[in-house]
């Protein structure tokens, strides 16, 4: 079954609602330039109140020190770090105590075999401008599943997420702006419809097998 991550959470109420609606993971954005940036102290309070069985992912961009990043993630209780910068395979391999999700921006120059150099891992494929709500050409992601667990992001919403689940059979889908009323503020009904659309698509995929 396709997992769902609701990203760019800035308020506990939204994190709680996402979990109650069936989201498998939430994303907390620690990139200061993002409109969904969250202060570590505020993030810690959200993490503390979340129920068990919800994976908590921190979003980072070109953090200069992987060991410091790992320590920060552990201090907050994050389960994984999602890296959106130019982090190399060596950089990623230095993070051992939390899971690593390496993000790639998919444009016409993207090749799925680029993932091979990062070893067997978890990869997030995003649009060229993360957080802008823009999809990418999903055909460019065909074959990516051979290299690890694939998360599809970029312009997903309740109307199109079922299509990408049916086309690519990803490990997970990731949404931020597609379930928001404004940057950082989630819309309950949009989250509900998004998760239900993923569930319907999973049933359709299973029925076609």
What is the number of other CB atoms lying within 10 angstroms of the CB of residue 91?
Answer: 19
Is 202 part of the annotated catalytic residue set? no
- pLDDT category, 207, cuts 50, 70, 90? confident
Question: Which one of 14, 17, 126, 174 is the catalytic residue?
Answer: 126
Confidence of residue 206 (pLDDT cuts 50, 70, 90): confident
Annotated catalytic residue, options 7, 14, 17, 174: 7
Global pTM value: 0.95
Least Cα distance to 170 among 197, 196, 202, 192 occurs for 202
Active site residue 14: no
Domain residue ranges in the chain: 3-208
**CATH code for the structural domain at 3-208:** 3.20.20.70
């Amino acid at each position: 079954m396709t997992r769902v991550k609701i990203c760019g959470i800035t308020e506990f109420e939204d994190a709680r609602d996402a979990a109650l609606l069936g989201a498998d993971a939430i994303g907390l954005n620690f990139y200061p330039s993002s409109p969904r940036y969250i202060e570590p102290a505020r993030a810690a309070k959200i993490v503390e109140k979340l129920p068990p069985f919800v994976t908590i992912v921190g979003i980072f961009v070109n953090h200069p020190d992987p060991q410091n990043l790992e320590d920060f993630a552990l201090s907050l209780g994050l389960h994984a770090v999602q890296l959106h910068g130019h982090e190399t395979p060596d950089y990623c391999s230095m993070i051992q105590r939390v899971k690593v999700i390496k993000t790639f921006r998919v444009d016409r120059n993207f090749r799925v075999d680029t993932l091979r150099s990062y070893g067997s891992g978890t990869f997030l494929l995003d649009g060229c401008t993360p957080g802008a709500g823009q999809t990418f050409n999903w055909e460019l992601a065909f074959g990516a599943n051979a290299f690890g667990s694939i998360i599809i992001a970029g312009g997903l919403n309740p109307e199109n997420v079922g299509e990408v689940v049916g086309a690519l059979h990803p490990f997970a889908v990731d949404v931020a702006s597609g379930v928001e009323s404004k940057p950082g503020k989630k819309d309950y009904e949009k989250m509900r419809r998004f998760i239900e659309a993923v569930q319907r698509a999973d049933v359709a995929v299973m029925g076609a097998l």
